[in-house]
Amino acid sequence: MTEKTTILNLPEDELVHPGNRACAGCGLSIVYRIGLKALGRDTILVVPPSCLTVLQGLYPIAATQLPCLNVTFASTAAAATGVLGALRAQKNKDTIVAAWAGDGGTSDIGLQALSGACERGEDLIFICYDNEAYMNTGVQRSGTTPQGVITTTTPFSGKAQKKKDVPAIIAAHGIDYVATASASYPLDLYDKIVKAKTIKGPKYIHVHTPCPAGWGFDPRYTVKLGKLAVETGLFDLYEIQNGNFALTGASEKLLGKDRKPVTDYLKTQVRFKALSDEQIDNIQKETDAKWAIYNEEKNG
């Protein structure tokens, strides 16, 4: 990454109005505010049903200063394709088209359209804000809900299956830019979106986004929880550029160092309360094994 943005040179231009309809402590509010700063005013947004639909306001009032097309749940990337097609027909090669969906709208119902757009090489930025369940409809499990998490559709023993690795699925399409980011590292997110704008073809950015209401923590800890996910090595910040994987930012700094134990993250959220000590041990072991590979690759 070239010159890193700091709080001192982040654009002051605000594209999201204050007083929007997001919950207190909403991680998406951070991601959206910073993300729009990075995208800039020459952008058209495409948004399926999600918490963002609510954040953006109820007709006839809107919380965003960008043109935004609300579309059906399964069609986000296809609709972004349509906007791009119209812009090409109008000889407009400058306007950025950014699709912005939740984890359900990306990893479950929206995956077919996203895969199609990636395969066609559509020149779009797809941002998935991953709060790890269907939060807007009341915390139902999604493809990206981690194993063991209590949701309203995994109410007692937690989700049995593992979290779907969406960035890896998208990277398998051979697109030029895949990155992960976190609501708790907004400047890293900002720089990744700015970089994505310079790359032709599909760009995918997967943003870990803490949700106080859905995860069961005090809204004051949103940033802290997002940082803990990274510091424990559970959620990693990285880029896959032209097929080359590299940890970035706070995750890169963890290479060769001791990480915080996963319990620091898991014990501070109600959604993990069904995890047994054995399950937590397993999560720690899996995390250690993943990081052993990262460290080996760095040294090798």
Residues near other proteins, by CB under 8 A: 41-44, 46, 53-54, 56-62, 64-72, 74-75, 78-83, 85-90, 92, 94-95, 112-113, 115-116, 119-120
- Nearer to other proteins by Cβ, of 175 and 225: the residue is 175
Burial of residue 14 (CB within 10 Å: 0-12, 13-18, 19+) is: exposed
Report how far residue 89's alpha carbon sits from residue 87's, in angstroms, rounded to the nearest whole number. Answer: 5
Report how far residue 122's alpha carbon sits from residue 130's, in angstroms, rounded to the nearest whole number. Answer: 22
Give least dist CB 6 to other proteins, A: 28
User: Cβ(20)–Cβ(43) under 8 Å?
Assistant: no
Give least dist CB 94 to other proteins, A: 8
- Nearer to other proteins by Cβ, of 48 and 233: the residue is 48
Give least dist CB 163 to other proteins, A: 25
Encoded tokens for 228 = 């803990």
- Nearer to other proteins by Cβ, of 49 and 158: the residue is 49
Encoded tokens for 83 = 């906007």
- Nearer to other proteins by Cβ, of 115 and 147: the residue is 115
- Nearer to other proteins by Cβ, of 41 and 162: the residue is 41
The angle at the Cα of 136, spanning 130 to 142, to the nearest 5 degrees, equals 50
Quickly count: other Cβ atoms within 10 Å of residue 41's Cβ: 12
Give least dist CB 225 to other proteins, A: 28
Give least dist CB 158 to other proteins, A: 31
